[in-house]
Every structure is written in structure tokens, then in C-alpha cells.
Amino acid sequence: MFLSNNFVRGAVSGLGLVNLVAGFVDLALLFAARDRREISLRDGTGRR
């Protein structure tokens, strides 16, 4: 009865959506950091 409540189902779905968005943001930050590191290694300065 508790799990079939529409408010509970909506809350669980909302938390899942927030989790997906946070995961995509983490991936975007990871790829951006990787791209910056590759650029700094190519210019010969050796900075990371």
C-alpha cells in the first residue's frame, strides 16, 4: 500500500532523475578535465 502511493512513486522517480543528471554532470566534468590536460601536454609546457 505504501509503495503504490503516487507521492512515493513520484519521489522515487524524482530522485532517480536527479541521480541521472548528477552522473551526466560528472561525466562532462571528467571529459573537460581530460581535454584540458591533453592540450597542456601538447603545447610543450609540461603543465598538468
Name the pTM for this structure. Answer: 0.62
Predicted confidence at residue 3, as pLDDT, reads 84
Q: How confident is the model at residue 12 (pLDDT cuts 50, 70, 90)?
A: very high
Q: For the residues 34-46, what does the mean pLDDT come to?
A: 61
Find all residues with CB under 8 Å of 44, minimum gap 6, and list them. none
Statement: residue 41 has pLDDT above 70: no
- In angstroms, the CA 22 to CA 32 distance is 15
Model confidence at 39, pLDDT cuts 50, 70, 90, reads low
pLDDT of residue 18: 97
